[in-house]
Structure 1
């Protein structure tokens, strides 16, 4: 996110650009088509600042450093995922916090249950030890 905060008139001007999907107070969401085109033109030798100017962006609004930052980030995405990287949502992929939607095999279910049992047994042992330590502390008083 940028340190720049856009005014309402600046947001309207940016949103009128066909290469922009949406604009918040502090960020601009560019269209995937623009990102792909910008990266390809940059690879061919065109500078980021020049690309943004040619596609109708007012540099006094977005700042002179923003094109370099965006193109650098987009080139990394392009090298890693290709053009499809701009058209698919990748946030949250591989996250461990969400429950799995796939069916588990009986072996996987068994392993998961055994791990849960081991965890619960360790928890019970811990509580027993804690109770014993509390009893010992009360006896000493």
Structure 2
């Protein structure tokens, strides 16, 4: 593997960026960072609470741990759980990087468009939760039939 690293940060090459961009659980990729979808973050937390390991969660979501780094799943889950525990679902639905910057509006000052975006993200999250629960129920039925 010819990935250059700076400290623990990984530099993604063009092919790796394309691969990551094709994953539906990724919102954005640069050569230095991955922005995961809020719905994936919440689904990952729920799966973790149900006993899945961070590595299993990322593998089943289609991530190549040789590309993102083997420590990334555990690191992300720890960060997301901390955010979830302090800020709830809202903390994961909104990108946190740069959050303390001046000029940022509070939730009460959101435009109609921003409110709509949040509502759409929440709907998507709830739909993913429903799908996740349906799959879990089907798996439990399969186990009962064995």
Superposition TM-score, scaled by structure 2 size: 0.61
Mapped partners of 1:67, 1:59: distance in 2:
8
Q: Deviations over 1:54-91 (max 9, x none)?
A: 00001110011000000000000111111111123554
Among residues 38, 48, 54, which one is paired with 1:48 in the alignment? 54
Mapped partners of 1:52, 1:33: distance in 2:
13
Q: Counterpart of 2:87? A: 81
Among residues 28, 34, 41, which one is paired with 2:40 in the alignment? 34
Mapped partners of 2:20, 2:95: distance in 1:
23
Q: Which runs of 4+ in 1 moved over 4 A?
A: none
Superposition TM-score, scaled by structure 1 size: 0.63
Q: Which has the higher contact order (CA 8 A, sep 6+)?
A: 2
Q: Indicate if the aligned counterparts of 2:38 and 2:94 stay in contact, CA closer than 8 A.
A: no
Q: Counterpart of 2:72? A: 66
Q: Counterpart of 1:131? A: none
Bigger radius of gyration = 1
What 5-or-longer segments of structure 1 have no aligned partner?
A: 101-141
What 5-or-longer segments of structure 2 have no aligned partner?
A: 1-5, 106-146
Per the alignment, in what secondary structure is the counterpart of residue 6 of structure 1?
A: coil
